[in-house]
Amino acid sequence: MDHLSQLPSGRHGGARVLIYSHDTFGLGHLRRSRAIANAIAGERNDCSIIIISGSPVIGNFEFGSGVDYVRIPGVTKLPDGDYRSLNLNLSLDEAVGLRQDLILQAAQSFRPDVFIVDKEPTGFRGEVVPALEYLESQGCRRVLGIRDVMDEPALLVPEWERKGAKDVLVRSYDEIWVYGLEDVYRPLDALALPAAVERRITYTGYLRREVPPTPSLTRYPKITKQPFILVTTGGGGDGDDLIDWVISAYEHDEGIAMPALIVFGPFVNRDMRRSFMDRIARHPKLDAIAFDTKIEHLMQKAAAIVAMGGYNTFCEILSFDKRALIVPRTRPRLEQHIRAVAAERLGLARMLSDLGAPRTPERMAEALKGLADQPRPSEVVIPGLLEGLDRVQERLKALMESQAAFIPTRHAAE
C-alpha cells in the first residue's frame, strides 16, 4: 500500500524528513533509524530523508535512494558511565556544543516537514532542543520515536527528571511512536504523563526487517553450509560475557549438535577478540567473523539465534521467524531483561539470565541443545506484532497533511 503517494509538500522535491539518531554507544539507534528511513523512501521516490548521527560506522551501511546522512562528531561512553569526545581533542562540553550547532544548522538548511527524534526527547545532553524550538516556529511536526522498552521505572523516572526530558516531551512533541505493542510493555507508564500527552502515543508494533537486496561482501565460514546457531551481540561493545559463556559451553559439552558462528561486532575489545579467537580456533564446532553490515543474510540462513536481546535483534528474530535464546544484559540497564521476560511470557523466545543463577557452562549447553526443539515465533499469533513500519507510514501521512495547513514564511519566498 502506497501510504505516502499523496503526501503534500510546500517545496519542489517532495516531502522531507529529518531523523536524529541517538547513538552515543553501539548500533541500535542507527539501525532502527536506518530501517525507518529506508522504509519511508521505499514508499515514495520523491521523498528526501536525512539521518543525523554521530556513529563512527554509519558510512559502512547502505541507504535507500532518497536517504542520506549528516555525520556529527562522535562521543563515546566510558566504563564508568561518563562520556568523552570520540575523536576530537575537545572537552565534552565543546563537543556537545558543536554537535548542537550542526543539528540546528541541518534543521535550518534542510527545512524538514517532519522531525523524528530517536529515544531521548532532549537528545544527548540537550543538544536537540534548539532544533526542536526552531522547527516548531516553522510548522514542522515533531515526533519522539522510542523502542518498546526504555528502562526499569526506578531508573527511568529520575533520569528523565534530571534531564528535563518529561517537560520537553510534553511541550515540544506532536506525537510519540512506541515501536512495540501495548500488550508487551508500556515504556512510559511510570512517568505519569498528562492525559493529553497519552493521547499522542501510538503503539506501532515492531519494525519488520527484510533481507538486503544486494549480497553481503563478507565471506561466510564453511559451518554456515549446514544448520548452525548464529551468536550475535550487536555492536559488540558489551557482549564479552555472552561470547565467553557460549564458547565455554562448547568447550565443556561435546554433545551440542549444531555448530555456532559468532559475530563479534565492530566495537568489541580487540584484546578480548584475540583471546576468543584463540579458543574458537581450537574447537571444530566454532567459528567467527568480525562484523557484517548485512547480518540479515546470516539471520535468514541460521537455524537458531543466540543474542543479548537488544531491540533490533529482537525485531530480526521475529521477522525471520527464528528460534532464539535471549541472554539479556542486566547492567547498567534492565531494558534487555524486561524485553526477554516479555518475549518468554508470550512464547516468542527463551531467556537465559544471570539474575539469581550462575553463568555455568552446563546451563548454557543445555539451553543450546534445547534450541532445535523450540517453537518458532510464528507459532504464536499476536495481532499487529510486525506492522510497525506500516503504522509509521500511516502516522507520517497524517502528520504531513496537518503540516500542509501551516503556511510558514519559509515558503513565501519560494
Domain borders along the chain are 16-208+386-409, 222-379
Average pLDDT, the chain: 90
CA-closest candidate to residue 188, choices 144, 145, 143, 150: 150
Rounded to two decimals, the pTM is 0.90
Residue 341 has pLDDT above 50, yes or no: yes
CATH label, 16-208+386-409, candidates 1.10.1060.10, 3.40.50.300, 3.40.50.1220, 3.40.50.2000:
3.40.50.2000
What per-residue confidence (pLDDT) applies to 26? 60
What per-residue confidence (pLDDT) applies to 3? 40
What per-residue confidence (pLDDT) applies to 9? 41
Helix (H) or strand (E) holding 343: helix 335-346
- DSSP states of 71-99 as a string? EPPPEEE-TTS-EEESSSSS-HHHHHHHH
What per-residue confidence (pLDDT) applies to 5? 38
Class for domain 222-379, per CATH?
alpha beta
In terms of C-beta density within 10 A (0-12 exposed, 13-18 middle, 19 or more buried), how is residue 258 classed?
middle
Residue 407 has pLDDT above 70, yes or no: no
Hey, do 16-208+386-409 and 222-379 end up sharing a CATH topology, with the first three levels equal? yes
Task: Give the model confidence (pLDDT) of 146-168 as tens digits.
Answer: 999 998 998 999 999 999 999 99
Confidence of residue 308 (pLDDT cuts 50, 70, 90): very high
CA 403 to chain centre: 27
Confidence of residue 217 (pLDDT cuts 50, 70, 90): confident
Q: 3-state class of 235 per DSSP?
A: coil
Distance from C-alpha of 400 to C-alpha of 141, rounded to nearest angstrom: 8
Residue 25 has pLDDT above 90, yes or no: no
What per-residue confidence (pLDDT) applies to 404? 66
